[in-house]
Copies of this chain bind each other. A is one copy, B any other.
């Protein structure tokens, strides 16, 4: 069974309401799916180790989603068990102070990982196209220009040996309602509840359209968007695990040969 991650085609219009938020046609149960994820996990660990040892390329993994889309949980599930020395996770919140005093890519660029490392971005430069558009924080001409900037930025990174993978965790309007209600009902989750989430929920349709434009304009041959059905967490986790392993296997990381002739070394 393979849960489908949809890889967007450059320049192709995306209709999110026609893309399932749930893995269709799956006969796998939650137990089977979770067990499968765990079966694959050692391969991810091994691939990350080889990627680190190779030290020639870096990997940026972007996570975007509507509120309650599951970014935190997805990152936690995917990278738990991987050597934390090789993975840096950064959450990009609303920019403040020194961040606003610079261009919007300034704080992102600082968090591009060094060669051999994986940099995970919980939210990203795409908020500077999405949120600022929907919340009308900058004029249209400003956010529209940024489609080109981010493509150029990701192109440069790719040319210089960095791989950019972009995931959108796709949930339904109903799933968001249910998850927000769960947060309200569970005091241990109250810290995650932000009244502005409700404002954003009012803007659901506008956000979906803004995302559709991003998938059309900013899916490139070097860094396409990948849409992950995310209504069921275990299926989302499995899909991400399978996809990430496939991507890393495609990169085929190979540790460099030793600089020394190890056959001549004796340990006394």
Contact = CB atoms under 8 A, between A and B. Distances in A.
B109 A105 contact: yes
Contacts of A90: none
A160 B104 contact: yes
A101 interface: yes
Interface string A153-186: 1011101111000000000000000000000000
Contact of A103 (B104, B116, B149, B156): B156
Interface string A96-122: 001001111110011010111000000
Contacts of A115: 101-102
B160 A156 contact: no
Given A106-B109, A112-B102, A156 B159 contact: no
A153 to B, nearest CB: 7
Nearest to A104: B160
A141 to B, nearest CB: 9
Q: Which of A104, A109, A152, A153 has the most CB of B within 10 A?
A: A109
Contacts of A58: 102
Contact of A114 (B98, B105, B145, B160): B98
How many copies are assembled?
2
A115 B95 CA distance: 14
B159 A149 contact: yes
A156 B102 CA distance: 12
Nearest to A145: B159
A124 to B, nearest CB: 15
Contacts of A106: 109-110, 112
A76 B103 CA distance: 27
Interface in A120-160: 142, 145-146, 149, 152-153, 155-157, 159-160
Nearest to A159: B145
What 8 A-B pairs are tightest by C-beta distance, nearest first?
A: A152-B152, A101-B114, A103-B160, A149-B156, A109-B109, A101-B115, A145-B159, A102-B114
Given A106-B109, A152-B155, 18 more contacts: A58-B102, A101-B115, A102-B115, A103-B112, A103-B161, A103-B162, A104-B160, A105-B109, A106-B110, A106-B112, A109-B109, A109-B110, A145-B159, A149-B159, A152-B152, A152-B153, A153-B153, A153-B156
Interface of A: 58, 98, 101-106, 109-110, 112, 114-116, 142, 145-146, 149, 152-153, 155-157, 159-162
8 contacts: A98-B114, A102-B114, A103-B156, A103-B161, A104-B160, A106-B109, A106-B110, A149-B159
